[in-house]
Chains A and B, each alone.
Chain A
Amino acid sequence: MTHEEAATLIGEHFVGAQVQGGSPLAVTVPVDRWVALARFAKETLGCRFFAFSTAVDWKDGGLEVIAKVDNLDNQLSVLMKTRLGTGVSACPSLVPVYRGANWMERECYDMFGIRFEGHPDLRRILLADDWQGHPLLKSYAVDTPHPPYR
């Protein structure tokens, strides 16, 4: 399957999705189609490898969750994006579809404070358990004190 065929398939199944061609194929969907897009990419497009998941803080534009999945047989890769609304930090989890999303979403929660609904074990993964705040948010000051070590 080439990227063009995948783009047409996604355009047929997800009305209103913004598809940017090229490699990887960048697909932006609303939040309520997020899990459906992941399931489509895994089962129809054959993207069984979950490469990474992260987020972007667009300040007033809200948070954007990004995940990249690959079809290692056909060199097809899909970059899935969804924009959460302003002030919203809840997003459906991809763990029921991709097991590899587990730790990635924990890191995303750690750094951005996004609460993935349906995640089996959502807790901090990199920072200390008693850490206050989420450091990769733009609203987090880099010189936030951390007593007793600052």
Chain B
Amino acid sequence: MEVKAPIPVIPAPIWRNIKDLQEWEQFRQHRPEGDKHSALFESVTEGVHAFPGGFVLTTAADAFFNWARKSSVWPVTFGLACCAIEMMATFASRFDVERLGMVPWASPRHSDLMVVSGTVTIKMAPMLERIYDQMPDPKWALSMGSCANSGGPFRHGYHVVKGVDRVIPVDVYVPGCPPPPESLLNGLLLLQDQISHFRRTGQRAAPNPKVD
């Protein structure tokens, strides 16, 4: 009698069964109270919005403000590892992010965007958090490279934070090891797209669509 070997059935990956993604959901940092705004500005906007026909003005103002925000994103220079070389190449003349209105700035207090480029060690994470806290609202964070996204090749080491989204809330993830300047430019354009929908939805864009 012939005994058939069991045919291995490999199930399709399901989001909730992947341990890393469960960890991502568990440990990702959120903005629980949203972005901080001026209370006076908020109340004036609410008043105008409640006025009959005032929504035309507020939506137009929102569109204008978002256009202004996305047209002058100033990234704070925060190079941590080899990804910083690609970031510098992106900021330099060949790829030239200044045509998108971005100026790499050496002070977090004048910046809107933090490009976390490289490996975040457990020792560096408090400093990263502190620099992020010094940036004025509204602010965005872009995680660049495998190390900042998930720990990358050092994920199973002892000294690396398993993704910078465990330290600060992240808006755009750029994959790659390291990502070439084209990838980073694509990420910056995605970020600009998110910024243009910033106040209209009242909250940040969802980080990634889930595939189940």
Contacts and interface: CB of A to CB of B under 8 A. Distances in A.
A, B: real partners: yes
Interface of A: 127-128, 135, 140, 142-144, 146, 149-150
Given A149-B125, A150-B166, A127 B161 contact: no
B159 interface: yes
B158 interface: yes
Category for how many chain B residues contact A = 10 to 19
A135 B158 contact: yes
Q: Is the interface of A mostly helix, strand, loop or mixed?
A: loop
Contacts of B159: 127, 135
Q: Say what secondary structure dominates the interface of chain B.
A: loop
B157 A127 contact: no
B4 to A, nearest CB: 40
Interface in B155-169: 156-159, 161-162, 166-167
Contacts of B157: 142
B158 A150 contact: no
Contacts of B161: 149-150
Contact of A142 (B123, B156, B166, B167): B156
A142 B154 CA distance: 11
A106 to B, nearest CB: 15
Contacts of A144: 158
